[in-house]
Structure formats: structure tokens, C-alpha cells
Structure 1
Amino acid sequence: MSDLPPETTDTPVLPKPEPTEGTAASPRAERADFARPRSLMTRQREQLSAGNLRRAAPDSANLARRRTLLRRAKWALPAAAILLLGSIIAWPEVEHLLSANKTVLRELANIRIESGNLVGATYRGVDEQQRPFMITADSAHQINDNRMDLTNPVADILPQSGGWMLARSAKGVYMQHAHLLDLTGNVTLYRSDGLMMHTPMVDIDVRRGIAASDAWVHIEGPFGQLDAQGFLLSQHDGIAQFRGPGRLILNDDRHSTPDQSKKAS
């Protein structure tokens, strides 16, 4: 046997190709989601370990607080339900009051107070037959808690017969407690049946629907013309009385004939 060493076969190592000019070496591909810091991984393990621990049993103080909350909830929830139902039931009435207040505010917006006078005054009410009446004036000056002096007043009265009567004048005095309206200065009365009256003064009881005057009056209407020394109109009763001496001209008469004998009580 010879002492020659065994033959060894060396595998040739090929040299790595060098990048040619103009071609960049491609970087090593790595996943970015695995590149997490060690502190983040440690914190996640601690959170997972804490989630597996059992919850501690509540102590007596926590139990007492929970019982108190339950007792309060048993009273608070039914009370809230009752309040909600009550608000639903009362809402139509509340809405009606709100709309009425809006109407009053709109009327008050048209009213101005200048030098103690109420400009654009409006009085509303109902008579004995529960029919509405309204008195308006360009201005009103309050003398006391009962008397109001009016400028250019207009009274609108609805009688029981279904018609209407409107009275206007240059001045007026309205007694609020008694509902009496005294008109003076170029008084004109209109009625829905076509009757128109002119007189220097008239007293109107707006609650009873009665207008009366002791001054002269000139009346025109579908029947003709009438001049008298006084009159009384009852709108609710449908009565018209005139005090003579007077003169009546009917539409079918060709001339006027004074009548000194007819007098009405």
C-alpha cells in the first residue's frame, strides 16, 4: 500500500456575476410585517396574558352601589314613561296656546305707545248673546282704569239676526267696565240691510246691541229717507224707533210731506 493521500475532488466555485454597467443590483426581498420591535411583541404578550385572567369578584361596596342604581332605575324609568305619555296628551293644548300667543304677539307688534297714547288700539269682546264685537281706533288715551278716549273709533257689532252694524265717528269715549261707547262728531252708522244713518252723536251699548241718540238723525235706505229728532235701535230685538217731529220720504213718493203728528216712544 502506498502512503499517498487520498484524492480529493474540489468543487469549483463560480464567481458571482458582477452587475454590468447601467443595471442596479436587486435588493433582498424581506416582509415588512415581521419587522416589529421587540418591545411591541412583549406588550402584546402581556395583554394576551392579562385577558386570560379571571375577573375579580365585586366587593360589598360595589354590590351596594349596583343595588342602589337598580332601585333608582325601577322608579326613574316608569316616571320617564309617564312624563312622555303626559306630554303626548297635553301637546295639542300646548300647541293651541302657542298659536294663540303668536296671534297676540302679532297684534302687539302693530301697537305703538307714543306720548302716553296707544296707537292702533283694538278691543274685542262678546255680547249677551255670545256674539263677538270689536272696537278699533287710530289712537287711545287712558284716562283711568275704566275710561278710554278714542280718536277715529270704529265699532263692528254682529247682531243675533245674522247681519252686522258698523259705526264710526271722529271721537269717542269707551267705558270698558260697562261696555258703553259714546261717539261724537260726524257719526255714521251702516247696517247690512242697506240702512245708513248720520247723526252728530250716538250712545252704543255694545253688550246689549243697542244704539240710541237724542240728536237729529238723517236716515237713508231701501225704503227711502227719514229725518227725525232722535232714535233707538235694538239690533238683537230687531226694533227701530224714531222720535218726531220727523219727515219720511218713501221711494215711491213723488214729493216729501212733513209729518208733525207721528211720534214714537
Structure 2
Amino acid sequence: MTSARPDLETPEQSRRGPLSELAAPRRVFKRKRRNGLILMLKIALPLIALSCVGYIYYWWRQAPVIHPTEVLSDAKQQASSDVKLQKVQYNGVDANNRPFSITADHASQPQKAETAPPPQSGAAAGDASIVNLEKLMADMTMGDGAWVAVTADNGVYHRDAGTVDLSGNVTLFHDTGLSFETDAATVDLKNDWARGDQPVEGQNADGQLASQGFEVRDGGQTIVFTGRAYLKLFPKKSNGGGS
């Protein structure tokens, strides 16, 4: 009986050769390494994506919102530093102890600047007696007890002098029914007079009028329409009928 020799190779082993025996464990190693890399990517990629989303959200909440700002000129910077009030009223009495009042939607007092341009229209910067008014009405009681009111879009109130420089849709109302409009006027609240040199248009129950200016004199008892004036009287209605 002959025994098989361990050093003899089978035909299949002879065909594979020694390289095939080395390649088998290498393929197994590559497969395991590829599976490990895929597993690592499956874990790492979601973590990276989640980190990016969290980073964007954090900066979205923390980063300041930047709005474009306008570079203000010196005049605008001066205006922005003014002390502004809403719904103001000034009360006082005239030279004859008759009351007057001024009401306005907005009021501002110019603040004194280190380098300020020369004042215009009598409004000196930093003068505590000067008040700029918007949407105002001034009313006063005249010498004969008549009531006069003046409204305007803008005004400069000189508190020490008791005068108001009005501009923009200036309208004067007299309790006799007379009303007229002009572009600019000055009212002296302490001495009960008003005047303007801009064109005037007005009316009352008796007719319509137009002139190049006006003056309120004698404590409100006299209103003079200056310059070239025009007056149109309405015909009075007759009380017809008889018994």
C-alpha cells in the first residue's frame, strides 16, 4: 500500500499556482477596508451636513443686520439734533392782558451748533426764544372782543417778541365771518396786529375779495387790504312776500 505524499500537488493547485494563494486573503482585506470606508462616510457625511446647517443658522441669528445709512450734511445733522415735541400749546396774554394761544402738531427748538451758518428768517440757532412750529393755529382776542384765528403749515414763534412768522397755506378767520388766504404773514400776538405782503384771496357772506396784501390794525377793529384790490359783492336776497 502506498501512502499519499504531502508534498505532491493536485492538478487544481497546480493550475492556481502560488500567487493565487496570496491573492485570496488580499481580496478579503480590500473588501473589508472598502466596507469600513463606506460605513465611515455614512456616518461622517450627515455629521458634516448637520454642522454646516448649524453654523449657518448660528450666524444668521448672531450676525448684525446692516442697513445702508445716509451720510448727513452739516445742516441735516443740525436739524436731527433739534429738540422736537408733538401736540404743543403756548398760552399768554397781550399788552392789554387779553389771552392768546398757539397750538401745533409739532414743535422743535434749534440747538446751538459749534459751527453754524448765519441764521435765516430770524431763527437763530441755539436761541431759546425761537420755536419752529408745524401745522399750527394761533388765536387771540382783539380789542373789541372779536376773535381771530390764523392757521398755517409752518411758523417760527419768537417767544420774547410775541410774534409768529407764518408760511404755507396761511388762513385768517374773523368771527364776523370773514376769511382769507395768503402764502405768508406775520402776527403780533402781544399787540394784536397782523400783516402780510403776499397776494390775498378771501370772502365773507357779502362777497369775495382779492388784494396784494393786508393789515389788521387797531386791535383787530380794522382790516386793510393793501395794493391793488378787487371786491365783488353778492346781491342781497330780498325778503319777498306780503300779508
Determine the C-alpha separation between the residues in 1 that align with 2:108 and 2:225. 33
Code of the residue aligned with 1:136 in structure 2: it is: T
Determine the C-alpha separation between the residues in 2 that align with 1:239 and 1:200. 21
- Residue 221 of structure 1 corresponds to 204
1:1-265 residue pairs with structure 2 within 5 A? 116-143=83-110, 144-234=127-217, 236=219, 238-252=221-235
Code of the residue aligned with 1:233 in structure 2: it is: V
Code of the residue aligned with 1:152 in structure 2: it is: K
Determine the C-alpha separation between the residues in 2 that align with 1:178 and 1:217. 25
Question: TM-score scaled to structure 2, two decimals?
Answer: 0.55
Code of the residue aligned with 2:186 in structure 1: it is: D
* CA drift at 1:115: 7.0
Determine the C-alpha separation between the residues in 2 that align with 1:248 and 1:141. 40
What per-residue deviation string (whole Å, max 9, x for no partner) do you get for residues 59-116 of structure 1? xxxxxxxxxxxxxxxxxxxxxxxxxxxxxxxxxxxxxxxxxxxxxxxxxxxxxxx972
What per-residue deviation string (whole Å, max 9, x for no partner) do you get for residues 115-169 of structure 1? 7201111111001121100001111111221110001011011112122011111
Distance verdict in 2 for CA 1:140–1:237, change over 3 Å: closer
Determine the C-alpha separation between the residues in 1 that align with 2:212 and 2:89. 32
Code of the residue aligned with 2:190 in structure 1: it is: R
What per-residue deviation string (whole Å, max 9, x for no partner) do you get for residues 4-58 of structure 1? xxxxxxxxxxxxxxxxxxxxxxxxxxxxxxxxxxxxxxxxxxxxxxxxxxxxxxx
Distance verdict in 2 for CA 1:237–1:220, change over 3 Å: closer
Moved more, 228-237 or 205-214: 228-237
Q: How big is the alpha-carbon RMSD for the aligned residues of Structure 1 and Structure 2?
A: 1.7
Determine the C-alpha separation between the residues in 2 that align with 1:240 and 1:227. 13
* CA drift at 1:235: 5.7
Determine the C-alpha separation between the residues in 1 that align with 2:207 and 2:218. 20
Code of the residue aligned with 1:247 in structure 2: it is: Y
* CA drift at 1:252: 2.3
The question of whether the paired residues in 1 share the 8 Å contact of 2:82 and 2:109 is answered with no
Determine the C-alpha separation between the residues in 1 that align with 2:170 and 2:220. 23
Higher RCO (Cα < 8 Å, 6 or more apart): 2
Unaligned runs of 5+ in 2: 1-80, 111-126, 237-243
Determine the C-alpha separation between the residues in 2 that align with 1:132 and 1:195. 21
Distance verdict in 2 for CA 1:137–1:241, change over 3 Å: same
Determine the C-alpha separation between the residues in 1 that align with 2:190 and 2:106. 22
* CA drift at 1:223: 2.5
Question: TM-score scaled to structure 1, two decimals?
Answer: 0.51
Aligned residue for 1:129, secondary structure, equals: coil
